[in-house]
Amino acid sequence: MKEAFMFSQRMAQLSKALWKAVEKDWQRWIKPYDLNINEHHILWIAHHLKGASISDVANFGVMHVSTAFNFSKKLEERGLLTFSKKEDDKRNTYIEITPAGDDLIFDLMEQYNPESNLVFSGSEPLREVFGKFPDLAELMTIIKNIYGDDFMDIFETSIHNIERDFDEENGELKRAERPQTSG
């Protein structure tokens, strides 16, 4: 009981401190685009999960369904998302990112600057010692136990998809799947 309580306090303090640093980094990063964290998170999910339902967005974005819906609506008004229904599933609302939304996601990736990122800077010494970024295996296991396998699958997919957005050879971003205008 004492151990459990001490562990849960430890987790509470650590996770609050980590999240506040992540939140500060995230807000600073997206500020020029007049987005809040939830809006950017929804766009990010829509970029990685082609044809996500609002409930997928809520689950994977760890937000209320109403939050997911309301901010998606704002993104739709800005032309960054479109809403749709499926023929075989009239109950759920699906969102799809527009080319303007994808552009915004790519712009932000281009502007990402690790040097100004608290969490990156805090992890850099570990990378110098171990030759790679920490894999946080314990934390991953805890999240998996709380949120389930589907959550982790989508999580891993979205991380691996990032590789798809970078050119293998020169490491630069490729704004893929977009028809090239002939020059």
Q: Is the dihedral of CA 168, 169, 172, 177 positive or negative?
A: negative
CA angle 30–35–40, rounded 5-degree value: 75
Binding mask 74-113 for a copy of itself (x = CB under 8 A): -----------------------------------x--x-
d(CA 117, CA 29) in angstroms, rounded, equals 9
Residue 62 lies near a copy of itself (rule: CB under 8 A): yes
Q: Which residues contact 134 (CB under 8 A, 6 or more apart)?
A: 123, 126, 127
Place of tokens 């109950």: 91
CB of 36 to a copy of itself, least distance (A): 13
Residue 26 lies near a copy of itself (rule: CB under 8 A): yes
Residue 114 lies near a copy of itself (rule: CB under 8 A): yes
List residues binding a copy of itself (CB under 8 A): 1-22, 25-26, 41, 62, 109, 112, 114, 117-126, 133-136, 138-147, 151, 155, 158-159, 162-163, 166, 171
